[in-house]
Amino acid sequence: MEHYLDNSATTPILDCVLKKMNEIYTENYGNPSSLHEKGYLAQKVIEESKKTILSTLTPSGSSFTSNQLIFTSCGTEASNLAILGFAGSKARNAGKKFIFGETEHASVINCAKHLESLGYKVAFIPSPKGKLDMERYASELTQDTVFVSAMLVNNETGAVNNINEIASMARAANPDVIIHCDLVQGYMKFPKSLFSSADMLTISAHKIGGPKGVGALYVSGKVLKLRALSPVMFGGGQENGFRSGTENVAGIAGFAEAVKYYSDHSSKITGLFEELNRQTRTMLGQIGDERIVINTPESEIRADHIINVTVRGIRSETMLHFLSSKQVYVSSGSACASNTNSRSHVLKSFGLEDKDIDSSIRISFGVQNTKEDVDALVSGIQEGLATLSSRRK
């Protein structure tokens, strides 16, 4: 039996999503830009999906317009659009300052480095224990700070940033500053009051049981009014001119279906993640081996679906492959960092020593997980500790 515990890398697609996408592929296959009935119906799917998703992002009771959501090919593209689209926008940002958290996802960090290479003023803020260093942040904020990007939930550690505090500090320095938040790992898992002050939000379908290859960028009315976003992809002018290219209609409908599923089961999902987190921490503690260190802090506001653990003395890849042989699937750092074979920048900023980074694994839960998955994980780690460390002697 499979025990998939790598849901922050991607989640298995939900049955209701697959059903919806199949319906669109077979019946509603028109191009939304076509002027006939099939095009109209496809466009209607997009508009309805936007309403569903926008209602989960905008402050309760507030109105929104459909041009506040821009569908993209993934979360990475949405953050590229937010950052590079802002830098190149009418707001004339050359010479102004951009601030980023040091533990942001590669899709944000690498945009920031690109801006730096173009001559923009860019500051990176460290995140010891996973949270933005607020003193350092305050010292970097200046009147010419025009853009701040901070993620809600870190994908490697599950640490949660206080976006509203980050936003209000930035606005005290410059009221026109634009706040971007990478919400990918927090979307549909936290109340919107925790990120309601952001001007732009990045989301991705495949982290919540939707299909891979669909993301979106939410932009506030202020962003539109200030004309603070320009496209980075040019063509037929779809998505109100912000993102050209024929829309992935089935994927978009699947994304909205996944959002509905999470909305309808919200308290059950929160309870499940809380329970799996508690159970994992307790059972790992019961092994009573001091080589097991849980890195994710147990703060009041935390992402229960992600736990980062170091198993001292056993390299991450060795443990990962051992667990994989038992059909227990976890990751070492983030899936993206493991591609590049470099030591995780997140865990470095977090404050872990190199040898602990090299032995860390990330466990992440999804809605399909059960107590049996945690049992299999914990006995796998226990067995791994016994076999792998004795093999090294």
Catalytic residues: 336
Distance CA 102, CA 347 (A): 10
List alpha helices for the chain, DSSP H.
15-27, 37-57, 75-87, 106-117, 134-140, 163-173, 221-225, 249-264, 266-287, 316-325, 335-340, 345-350, 354-357, 371-392
| Binding residue for ligand PLP, selected from 49, 68, 127, 155, defined by CB under 6 A | 155
Q: Which stretch in 134-142, 162-170, 173-181, 182-190 sits in contact with ligand PLP by CB under 6 A?
A: 182-190
Using rule CB under 6 A, residue 204 touches ligand PLP: yes
The site for ligand PLP, by CB under 6 A, has a size of 12
242 token code pair: 């912000």
Using rule CB under 6 A, residue 248 touches ligand PLP: no
Using rule CB under 6 A, residue 215 touches ligand PLP: yes
Using rule CB under 6 A, residue 352 touches ligand PLP: no
Q: Are 80 and 107 in contact (CB under 8 A)?
A: yes
Using rule CB under 6 A, residue 151 touches ligand PLP: yes
Distance CA 66, CA 100 (A): 28
54 token code pair: 């926008």
Residue among 57 and 141 whose Cβ is closer to ligand PLP:
57
Using CB under 6 A, which residues numbered 360 to 379 contact ligand PLP? none
What minimum distance in Å lies between the beta carbon of 184 and ligand PLP? 4
Using rule CB under 6 A, residue 296 touches ligand PLP: no
| Binding residue for ligand PLP, selected from 5, 74, 198, 337, defined by CB under 6 A | 74
What minimum distance in Å lies between the beta carbon of 365 and ligand PLP? 14
Distance CA 34, CA 122 (A): 43
Using rule CB under 6 A, residue 76 touches ligand PLP: yes
| 50-86 as b/e: b if 16+ CB within 10 A | bebbbebbbeeeeebeeebbbbbbbbbbbbbbbbbbb
Give strand pairing partners of 97. 121, 145
Measured in whole angstroms, the distance separating CA 190 from the mean position of its chain's CA atoms is 12
Residues in the chain, overall count:
393
What minimum distance in Å lies between the beta carbon of 203 and ligand PLP? 9
Q: Which stretch in 72-80, 216-224, 237-245, 338-346 sits in contact with ligand PLP by CB under 6 A?
A: 72-80
Q: Which stretch in 30-38, 70-78, 262-270, 304-312 sits in contact with ligand PLP by CB under 6 A?
A: 70-78
What minimum distance in Å lies between the beta carbon of 154 and ligand PLP? 7
Residue among 163 and 378 whose Cβ is closer to ligand PLP:
163
What minimum distance in Å lies between the beta carbon of 290 and ligand PLP? 30
Q: Is the dihedral of CA 209, 214, 215, 219 positive or negative?
A: negative
Residue among 172 and 301 whose Cβ is closer to ligand PLP:
301
Using rule CB under 6 A, residue 105 touches ligand PLP: yes
Give, in order, the Cα–Cα distances in Å from 223 to each of 52, 173, 177, 198, 274: 21, 18, 10, 10, 36
What minimum distance in Å lies between the beta carbon of 5 and ligand PLP? 15
| Binding residue for ligand PLP, selected from 75, 158, 254, 384, defined by CB under 6 A | 75
What minimum distance in Å lies between the beta carbon of 214 and ligand PLP? 8
Using rule CB under 6 A, residue 243 touches ligand PLP: no
| 338-368 as b/e: b if 16+ CB within 10 A | beeeeebbbbbbbebeeebbbbbbbbbbbbe
Residue among 215 and 254 whose Cβ is closer to ligand PLP:
215
Select the residue whose beta carbon is closest to ligand PLP and give its number.
75
| Binding residue for ligand PLP, selected from 182, 257, 358, 373, defined by CB under 6 A | 182
Distance CA 80, CA 146 (A): 16
Distance CA 329, CA 298 (A): 23
Residue showing tokens 């308290």: 267
Distance CA 217, CA 118 (A): 24
Write out the residues near ligand PLP by the rule CB under 6 A.
74-76, 105, 107, 151, 155, 182, 184-185, 204, 215
